[in-house]
Amino acid sequence: MENQTLRNQPSFSEDELARRAQFDRSRPLERDEGANLISSAKVEGTKVFSTDGDHLGHIDHVMIGKLSGRVEYSVMSFGGFLGINESYFPIPWESLDYDTERGGYVVNIDKDRLKEAPNYGREAAPDYTERFGHEVYGFYGVPY
Protein backbone atom coordinates (compact mmCIF):
# COMPACT_ATOMS: atom_id res chain seq x y z
CA MET A 1 0.00 0.00 0.00
CA GLU A 2 1.41 3.37 -0.99
CA ASN A 3 1.95 6.10 1.62
CA GLN A 4 -0.58 8.92 1.51
CA THR A 5 0.00 12.46 2.69
CA LEU A 6 -2.75 14.01 4.78
CA ARG A 7 -3.90 17.47 3.79
CA ASN A 8 -4.26 18.64 7.36
CA GLN A 9 -1.38 16.81 8.98
CA PRO A 10 -0.76 18.41 12.36
CA SER A 11 2.45 20.22 13.06
CA PHE A 12 2.70 21.50 16.61
CA SER A 13 5.18 23.91 18.12
CA GLU A 14 7.05 22.98 21.30
CA ASP A 15 4.79 25.40 23.22
CA GLU A 16 1.66 23.70 21.84
CA LEU A 17 3.00 20.25 22.72
CA ALA A 18 3.77 21.44 26.27
CA ARG A 19 0.27 22.94 26.57
CA ARG A 20 -1.29 19.66 25.37
CA ALA A 21 0.81 17.66 27.86
CA GLN A 22 -0.37 19.95 30.66
CA PHE A 23 -3.99 19.54 29.52
CA ASP A 24 -3.65 15.75 29.53
CA ARG A 25 -2.44 15.85 33.15
CA SER A 26 -5.29 18.15 34.20
CA ARG A 27 -8.17 16.24 32.60
CA PRO A 28 -11.10 15.86 34.96
CA LEU A 29 -11.44 12.39 36.43
CA GLU A 30 -15.22 12.59 36.44
CA ARG A 31 -15.93 12.20 32.74
CA ASP A 32 -18.91 9.89 32.89
CA GLU A 33 -22.44 10.46 34.06
CA GLY A 34 -21.87 8.07 36.92
CA ALA A 35 -22.14 5.07 34.62
CA ASN A 36 -20.34 3.94 31.51
CA LEU A 37 -23.16 4.91 29.16
CA ILE A 38 -24.85 8.10 28.03
CA SER A 39 -27.84 8.54 25.76
CA SER A 40 -27.15 10.12 22.37
CA ALA A 41 -30.10 12.41 23.14
CA LYS A 42 -28.06 13.88 25.99
CA VAL A 43 -24.93 14.23 23.85
CA GLU A 44 -26.67 16.01 20.97
CA GLY A 45 -26.99 19.70 21.73
CA THR A 46 -24.25 19.67 24.37
CA LYS A 47 -21.88 22.64 24.19
CA VAL A 48 -18.27 22.23 23.10
CA PHE A 49 -15.51 24.41 24.54
CA SER A 50 -11.83 24.94 23.79
CA THR A 51 -9.30 24.29 26.54
CA ASP A 52 -9.15 28.09 26.88
CA GLY A 53 -12.85 28.09 27.80
CA ASP A 54 -14.15 29.59 24.54
CA HIS A 55 -17.53 28.24 23.44
CA LEU A 56 -16.92 26.66 20.01
CA GLY A 57 -20.29 25.18 19.15
CA HIS A 58 -22.48 22.22 20.09
CA ILE A 59 -22.72 18.54 19.24
CA ASP A 60 -25.16 18.22 16.35
CA HIS A 61 -25.00 14.44 16.05
CA VAL A 62 -22.74 11.44 16.50
CA MET A 63 -21.51 8.94 13.92
CA ILE A 64 -21.48 5.31 15.06
CA GLY A 65 -19.65 2.49 13.27
CA LYS A 66 -22.23 0.07 11.87
CA LEU A 67 -20.07 -2.99 12.52
CA SER A 68 -18.09 -1.91 15.58
CA GLY A 69 -20.93 -0.14 17.38
CA ARG A 70 -18.31 2.39 18.44
CA VAL A 71 -18.84 6.16 18.39
CA GLU A 72 -16.35 7.30 15.78
CA TYR A 73 -17.15 11.01 15.63
CA SER A 74 -19.13 13.67 17.33
CA VAL A 75 -20.09 16.22 14.71
CA MET A 76 -19.94 19.74 16.10
CA SER A 77 -22.02 22.53 14.62
CA PHE A 78 -20.24 25.88 14.50
CA GLY A 79 -21.42 29.30 13.32
CA GLY A 80 -24.51 30.15 11.36
CA PHE A 81 -27.97 30.97 12.60
CA LEU A 82 -30.95 28.58 12.65
CA GLY A 83 -29.05 26.15 10.47
CA ILE A 84 -28.08 28.75 7.84
CA ASN A 85 -24.35 28.93 7.04
CA GLU A 86 -23.51 26.39 9.73
CA SER A 87 -20.34 24.38 9.38
CA TYR A 88 -19.99 20.86 10.71
CA PHE A 89 -16.77 19.58 12.23
CA PRO A 90 -16.34 15.84 12.78
CA ILE A 91 -14.29 15.38 15.95
CA PRO A 92 -12.96 12.00 17.05
CA TRP A 93 -14.86 10.93 20.15
CA GLU A 94 -11.53 10.28 21.87
CA SER A 95 -10.66 13.98 21.49
CA LEU A 96 -13.53 15.10 23.72
CA ASP A 97 -13.59 15.21 27.50
CA TYR A 98 -16.70 16.02 29.47
CA ASP A 99 -16.23 18.89 31.94
CA THR A 100 -18.83 18.76 34.72
CA GLU A 101 -18.15 22.37 35.75
CA ARG A 102 -18.82 23.73 32.26
CA GLY A 103 -21.58 21.25 31.53
CA GLY A 104 -20.06 20.49 28.14
CA TYR A 105 -17.31 18.80 26.22
CA VAL A 106 -13.79 20.19 25.95
CA VAL A 107 -11.66 19.66 22.86
CA ASN A 108 -7.97 20.47 22.83
CA ILE A 109 -8.16 23.08 20.04
CA ASP A 110 -8.68 26.82 19.88
CA LYS A 111 -10.90 28.83 17.52
CA ASP A 112 -8.02 29.79 15.23
CA ARG A 113 -6.90 26.18 14.78
CA LEU A 114 -10.54 25.08 14.38
CA LYS A 115 -10.72 27.08 11.14
CA GLU A 116 -8.18 24.63 9.66
CA ALA A 117 -10.02 21.50 10.83
CA PRO A 118 -11.81 19.24 8.34
CA ASN A 119 -15.39 20.49 8.02
CA TYR A 120 -18.34 20.66 5.66
CA GLY A 121 -21.60 22.54 5.04
CA ARG A 122 -25.12 21.26 5.65
CA GLU A 123 -25.63 20.13 2.04
CA ALA A 124 -22.10 18.80 1.50
CA ALA A 125 -21.62 15.94 3.97
CA PRO A 126 -18.50 13.92 3.15
CA ASP A 127 -18.22 10.23 2.52
CA TYR A 128 -17.02 8.92 5.86
CA THR A 129 -14.39 6.69 4.28
CA GLU A 130 -11.27 5.27 5.90
CA ARG A 131 -9.21 7.96 4.14
CA PHE A 132 -11.45 10.68 5.58
CA GLY A 133 -11.11 9.04 9.00
CA HIS A 134 -7.33 9.17 8.80
CA GLU A 135 -7.51 12.85 7.80
CA VAL A 136 -9.80 13.81 10.69
CA TYR A 137 -8.10 11.73 13.35
CA GLY A 138 -4.69 12.90 12.09
CA PHE A 139 -5.72 16.53 12.42
CA TYR A 140 -6.62 15.99 16.07
CA GLY A 141 -3.52 13.89 16.71
CA VAL A 142 -5.47 10.73 17.52
CA PRO A 143 -4.67 7.28 16.04
CA TYR A 144 -7.39 6.02 13.69
Reply yes or no on whether the pLDDT at 116 is more than 80.
Answer: yes
Query: Quick check: is 101 in a domain?
Result: yes
Question: Regarding predicted confidence, which is higher, 113 or 20?
Answer: 113
| Domain range enclosing 127 | 39-139
Query: Quick check: is 61 in a domain?
Result: yes
Reply yes or no on whether the pLDDT at 134 is more than 70.
Answer: yes
The residue type of 119 is N
CATH number of the domain residue 128 falls in: 2.30.30.240
The domain total for the chain is 1
Q: What pLDDT, on a 0 to 100 scale, did the predictor assign at position 48?
A: 96
| DSSP track, 102-127 | TTEEEES--HHHHTTS--EETT-PPP
Round to whole Å and give the CA distance between 55 and 134: 26
Q: What pLDDT, on a 0 to 100 scale, did the predictor assign at position 3?
A: 47
Query: Quick check: is 79 in a domain?
Result: yes
Query: Quick check: is 44 in a domain?
Result: yes
Question: Regarding predicted confidence, which is higher, 43 or 82?
Answer: 43
Q: Which residues contact 89 (CB under 8 A, 6 or more apart)?
A: 57, 75, 76, 77, 78, 114, 117, 118, 119
Q: What pLDDT, on a 0 to 100 scale, did the predictor assign at position 23?
A: 58
Query: Quick check: is 54 in a domain?
Result: yes
pLDDT tens column, 29-74: 444 455 567 778 888 999 999 998 999 999 999 999 898 888 999 9
Query: Quick check: is 125 in a domain?
Result: yes
